Structure 1
Amino acid sequence: MTNLLTKFKTDTWVTANWEKFQQLIAEPEFQKAKFYYHNGQLRIEMVPLGHDHACDNTIVIFAISLFCGIKNILIKGLTNCSFRKTGIQECQPDASYYIGENADIVPWGTSVINLETYPPPDLVIEVANTSLADDMGGKRLLYEDLQVKEYWIVDVKNVRIIAFSIADGGSRRITQSQVLAGLEIAVLEEALRRSRQMNQSQVCAWLMAEFQK
């Protein structure tokens, strides 16, 4: 397939069947792309992930690992991992977590995680620098249908985290994580604000002091 990038609109939802989706995944032009599929629509994300997106992603991932280490909470964190329900849904969130009794449910050697074999992750995180509207809209509906327990959107430009608890096919805003008991969203937001003014190692030291209180 030639000039595929000019023929297929990226970074938006496009109507496509599952067969088309599978065909596009295999194309070398999309080797570094992120793919989503939901309700007969496909989204291919090609926008390069820049400095600000990467920094916030790093801070949030570190904060979760530190919190869980201090609080003795079992987790398995996954970065840009693909989850698939064949013929129905696929997603590749910036970060995702299996927590507690599910922490080690997916074995080593697994490629794309088959959601007909394994449960969905307990927590999914999308970092939004240029994609906030979609993360709040189409992807939120996707994660509701996948029945993840919690969904966070890291709003890079506004330095905030919009967190949702998901249950019964819908979602509601929360200020404290329900899957990581005792973790206040406001603490993570303060860490992001501090990362604009100080080195990441200093932010990590501040987080450690906060989590040990």
Structure 2
Amino acid sequence: MATLTQIRVRTSPDQIPQWQSATWDDYVACCADAEQSQVDHFRIFFNQGYLFVDMGWEGINHARFRELLTMLIAFWFSRQPEQTFDCLGGCILEKPKQRAASPDQVVYIGAESPRWQVGEPRRINLRQWRVPDLVCEVGDTTLATDLDEKKQIYARLEIPEYWVIDVSAARVIAFYLQADGRYQQSHVSRALDGLAIALVEQTFARLEQETNGAAAVWFAQQIANL
């Protein structure tokens, strides 16, 4: 089985994501290597015989958008403090032997979000835990694969709602999973209970002139009376 030193790894945001033939054992070995080496930035995706490993830092824009996304989710749920939620960005989701992904943001709404137990892999096994309610990718240098290969993975993992945030255009493309297992674009979030995607886009557009903190406060003001 292949290790991180034996496969093609994306180590710079300037590199185009490359998917390569691999086995599930290769995927598990790469995860083990990354954990043992305590790799700071490690994202991995597996889809029935194809693997993509990303160890390239995305930079300031990606970080600013990603952290604003987390703040927006928190502000949204601050309106209904009785509603529990967990943001688990950076965790790996997997259906063993089939598919795996490590999204920028993973959101569980309500009870029964994953809890790690000593001795278990540090990944979310979707045969053991329910699927998250929302998964998001921030597309700075990976937009094409976010809308293609990764989108296919999330549909097969049965993620009910998937967002792609296009950094260059400050655009949010939201998808909702249909009964036939395919994603349909949606202009309103179901996971976030009717939140208009246009408002999210307006908030991200403010990053051209503002900090993400200021944009988040503006968003909080807009939803205060919803």
TM-score normalised according to structure 2 size = 0.85
Higher helix share: 1
Q: Report 1:46-195 matches (<5 A).
A: 46-72=55-81, 73-100=83-110, 103-107=111-115, 109=117, 111-168=122-179, 169-195=181-207
Does residue 4 of structure 1 match 2:5?
Answer: yes
Sequence identity percentage: 28
Q: 1:155 to 1:3 in 2, by over 3 A?
A: closer
Deviations 1:87-128 (A, max 9, x none): 11111100011113xx44322547311111111111000000
RMSD: 2.1
Q: 1-side partners of 2:46 and 2:4: how far apart?
A: 22
Q: 1-side partners of 2:165 and 2:134: how far apart?
A: 13
Partner of 1:15: 21
Q: 2-side partners of 1:207 and 1:143: how far apart?
A: 28
Partner amino acid, structure 2, of 1:67: W
The answer to whether the 8 Å contact 2:4/2:30 transfers is no
Bigger CA drift: 27-36 or 122-131? 27-36
Give the length in aligned residue pairs.
210
Q: 2-side partners of 1:95 and 1:3: how far apart?
A: 24
Q: 1:66 to 1:86 in 2, by over 3 A?
A: same
Bigger CA drift: 195-204 or 143-152? 195-204
The answer to whether the 8 Å contact 1:126/1:153 transfers is yes
Q: 1-side partners of 2:4 and 2:160: how far apart?
A: 40
Deviations 1:37-66 (A, max 9, x none): 112111101221200000001111101110
1:27 aligned to 25, 28, 33, which one? 33
**CA positional deviation for 1:146:** 0.4
Gaps of 5+ in 2: 11-16
The answer to whether the 8 Å contact 1:126/1:152 transfers is yes
Gaps of 5+ in 1: none
1:206 aligned to 198, 206, 218, which one? 218
